[in-house]
Amino acid sequence: MLKVFLKVLSGVLIIIIVVMLVKTFSFTSRQINPEPASDFKIDSEKAARNLADAVRIPTISFAKKGRNNGDEFLRFHKYLEQTYPRLHKNLKKEIINKYSLLYTWRGSDKAKKPIVLMAHMDVVPVEEKSKDQWKYGPFAGSVAEGYIWGRGTLDNKGNLMGILEAVEGLLKKGFRPQQTIYIVSGHDEEIGGMHGALTIVTLLKARAVRPDFVLDEGMVITDGIMPGISSRVGLIGLAEKGYLSVELLAVSEGGHSSLPPRETAVGILCRAITRLENNPLPARLDGPAKFMFDYIGREMSFVNRVVFANLWITEGILKSQLQKIKTTNAIIRTTTAPTMLEGSSRDNVLPNVARAVVNFRILPGDTPQIVLEHIKQTLDDRRIEIKPLGNKIQGASPVAAVESKNYRVIEKAIRQVFPNVIVAPSLAIVASDARHFAALTPDVYRFAPMSLKFDDLARLHGINERLAVDNYVLMIKFYMQLISNSQQ
Ligand SMILES: [Zn+2]
């Protein structure tokens, strides 16, 4: 009996191994190998200088109302006019809500659907106390050590100037697009984009503009950030996660701290937070994350390929591994992040109410309602009031098509300009102006052609923000190539 059982077992094992191997060997690269990039000539010194000068104009978005610095935005508009005369002669410029810009480059073929290229012009403020830690002043506009330094070089003036340089360069060569190209630059992306990008979307909708695709910032070329792969990976965001902050209020007896009740408001609240942290929403390997690992897994070592080619058997183990790394965890689930805590204002006073705020970033497929229901069920405590907070509640965006004509146009331009970079679809974990464009087309992609290493991530909204001059030149080339490719 045992013998028969062992025979059957080894038979089954052999079949599983054979299936796994067959799947692994047919799990081959999805990378395309297009013809080389066109030979665009770019004056790198001049381009770097132009971006550095753009950094010198502090177009800061302040979260607090009343700190309007509109004059800087107008100065920035003027600067763009002077720097890109051909563009301003050939494209129609509209100023939306005083400071945002919408350029229209009319195409020769009216039958073709237009495309939209986006990059916001506003930047986040620089914390007063961090100013001395900048190697070069945040608004000095320095070009040194092979980099352009300053606030906005990565987020997002580099992209904006890159797009404008590309258009100016193409115009100089006598290029005229077949399809109309819109360039959208919002002035309030860092505080929600409600006056800039959203107003432009409303306007384009009223004009019945239905873009083929939209390209905005959101994801980048990662260099040594993706685990399990040594090549650089260009991630095209197919969607962005949603946003929900929830206020938790725990109520208990207040009074003097010399006579505490068995359970205090702070204690109740802290247990609730721990429960939420220990019971996150479930991880899922579907949607953009599934596409991403499908593309990247094919470029990995043999052992990793066995894993990614055989999700039918490995999905559970893989998910448990991906959850351990915060960058991959954020791509496979709605994340839970307690961000604010408040009790009493004195060390010897018990608060009546303790307050916490927990921020959730919502995965496509989950919704704010699903998250709220999850919180209620997880806490299951009547002493805690659960309140969605503020006006930033937002479900995840729709998911753009992958392996479509539009995806291919972007993928091709990346592979042409950055031939050694692996290209893969992905999910943007932060919000951008791009989400407003879901009202016009499902094909909204998020990709900025910037190559970032792990320590560069802290420069975004942080100290010593900088962009390599070499990278900036490739960025301009990318936009030139993309515009040329999209005309085919
Ligand atoms: Zn940005």
Measured in Å, residue 152 CA sits from the centre of ligand 1 at: 8
* The most confident of 15-19, 84-88, 319-323, 455-459, by mean pLDDT: 84-88
Tell me whether residue 122 is in a domain.
Answer: yes
My answer on whether 258 and 347 are in the same domain is yes
Q: Which of 122, 165, 240, 456 is catalytic?
A: 122
Answer whether residue 192 shows pLDDT above 90.
Answer: no
My answer on whether 358 and 456 are in the same domain is no
* End position of a domain, from candidates 393, 410, 435: 393
Task: Give the pLDDT score at 392.
Answer: 82
My answer on whether 248 and 192 are in the same domain is no
Pick from 124, 117, 201, 186: nearest CA to 449: 117
Measured in Å, residue 460 CA sits from the centre of ligand 1 at: 9
Task: Report the number of distinct structural domains present in the chain.
Answer: 2
Pick from 369, 371, 339: nearest CA to 355: 339
* End position of a domain, from candidates 350, 372, 393: 393
Q: Could you tell me the two tokens for 284?
A: 């899922």
Measured in Å, residue 458 CA sits from the centre of ligand 1 at: 14
Task: Give the pLDDT score at 488.
Answer: 67
Domain CATH for 258: 3.30.70.360
**Pairing mode, strands 147-149 and 142-144:** antiparallel
My answer on whether 125 and 266 are in the same domain is no
User: Is 189 marked active-site?
Assistant: yes
What's the domain range around 160? 44-218+426-486
| Cα dihedral sign, 136-137-139-141 | negative
Per-residue pLDDT tens digits for 433-477: 999 999 999 999 999 999 999 999 999 999 999 999 999 999 999
Q: Which of 155, 168, 188, 189 is catalytic?
A: 189
The owner of tokens 């100016």 is 168
Tell me whether residue 313 is in a domain.
Answer: no
Per-residue pLDDT tens digits for 95-120: 999 999 999 999 999 999 999 999 99
My answer on whether 52 and 188 are in the same domain is yes
Measured in Å, residue 176 CA sits from the centre of ligand 1 at: 29
Phi, psi of 17 (to 5 degrees): -65, -45
Tell me whether residue 304 is in a domain.
Answer: no
Burial class (CB in 10 A: 0-12, 13-18, 19+), 26: exposed
What distance in Å separates the CA atoms of residue 318 and residue 311, rounded to the nearest whole number? Answer: 8
Measured in Å, residue 75 CA sits from the centre of ligand 1 at: 20
Tell me whether residue 325 is in a domain.
Answer: no
pTM for the predicted model, two decimal places: 0.92
Confidence grade of residue 267 (pLDDT, cut at 50, 70, 90): very high
Q: Which amino acid, 306?
A: V
What distance in Å separates the CA atoms of residue 358 and residue 338, rounded to the nearest whole number? Answer: 4
| Cα dihedral sign, 226-228-233-238 | negative
User: Is 456 marked active-site?
Assistant: no
My answer on whether 247 and 124 are in the same domain is no
Specify whether the CB–CB gap between 316 and 238 falls below 8 A.
Answer: no
My answer on whether 185 and 252 are in the same domain is no
Measured in Å, residue 461 CA sits from the centre of ligand 1 at: 9
Q: Taking residues 341-350, what's their average pLDDT? A: 94
Answer whether residue 66 shows pLDDT above 80.
Answer: no
Task: Give the pLDDT score at 487.
Answer: 79
The owner of tokens 């959101």 is 218
My answer on whether 57 and 99 are in the same domain is yes
My answer on whether 197 and 48 are in the same domain is yes
Cβ burial 277-301 (10 Å sphere, 16+ → b, else e): eeebbebbbebbbebbbbbbbbbbe
Q: Could you tell me the two tokens for 19?
A: 């299936």
Tell me whether residue 364 is in a domain.
Answer: yes
Pick from 218, 147, 160: nearest CA to 448: 218
Domain CATH for 195: 3.40.630.10
Tell me whether residue 74 is in a domain.
Answer: yes
Measured in Å, residue 459 CA sits from the centre of ligand 1 at: 12
My answer on whether 214 and 247 are in the same domain is no
Cβ burial 368-397 (10 Å sphere, 16+ → b, else e): beebbebbeebbebeebeeeeeeeebbbbb
My answer on whether 203 and 252 are in the same domain is no
**What is the three-class DSSP state of 101?**
strand
Per-residue pLDDT tens digits for 156-168: 999 999 999 999 9
| Cα dihedral sign, 336-337-343-348 | positive
**What DSSP line would sit under 35-83, residue for residue?**
PPPP-----HHHHHHHHHHHHTS--BPPSSTT---HHHHHHHHHHHHHH
CA distances in angstroms from 299 to 27, 60, 285, 302, listed in the order given: 9, 41, 18, 9
235, containing H or E segment: strand 233-240
Number of residues assigned to the chain: 488
Task: Give the pLDDT score at 254.
Answer: 82
Q: Could you tell me the two tokens for 205?
A: 């909708």
Tell me whether residue 472 is in a domain.
Answer: yes
Tell me whether residue 29 is in a domain.
Answer: no
My answer on whether 458 and 361 are in the same domain is no
